[in-house]
Amino acid sequence: NNNMENPSCVGIEGVLESYLQSLRTVQLYGPTNFAPVINQVAGTAAQVTDGSQYHVLLIITDGVISDMLQTKEAIVTASSLPMSIIIVGVGPAEFEGE
């Protein structure tokens, strides 16, 4: 949501609002590193131990993942946390094999 102090969105309405804002302000370019954002959300999810929150990380990308090994490691590390990771590829990039 472009807010480094509170990067969360609440509900689908918050996700859509953040997405629309990003469409107007973000220019997509490489390299495409996913591990840092996965690790950041995993750190937030790890702080919730009472089951009261579940995190969904939606990554929309126009490029092939540049840090594939680190991304795989981050996903494995996050797999035991209350979170899901959804990666959507858009545009003409070659995503086959990713």
**What local confidence, expressed as pLDDT, does residue 98 receive?**
58
AA letter at 84: S
Query: 52: how many CB neighbours lie within 10 A of its CB?
Result: 7
Mean pLDDT over 63-88 rounds to: 93
Distance, in Å, from the CA atom of 98 to the CA atom of 22, rounded to the nearest integer, reads 24
**What local confidence, expressed as pLDDT, does residue 97 receive?**
61
**What local confidence, expressed as pLDDT, does residue 72 receive?**
95
| 16-25 pLDDT per residue, tens | 888 888 888 8
Distance, in Å, from the CA atom of 9 to the CA atom of 13, rounded to the nearest integer, reads 8
Q: Domain extents for the chain?
A: 1-29, 31-97
The pair of three-digit structure tokens given for residue 26, joined into one six-digit string? 């973000």
| 28-42 pLDDT per residue, tens | 777 889 999 999 999
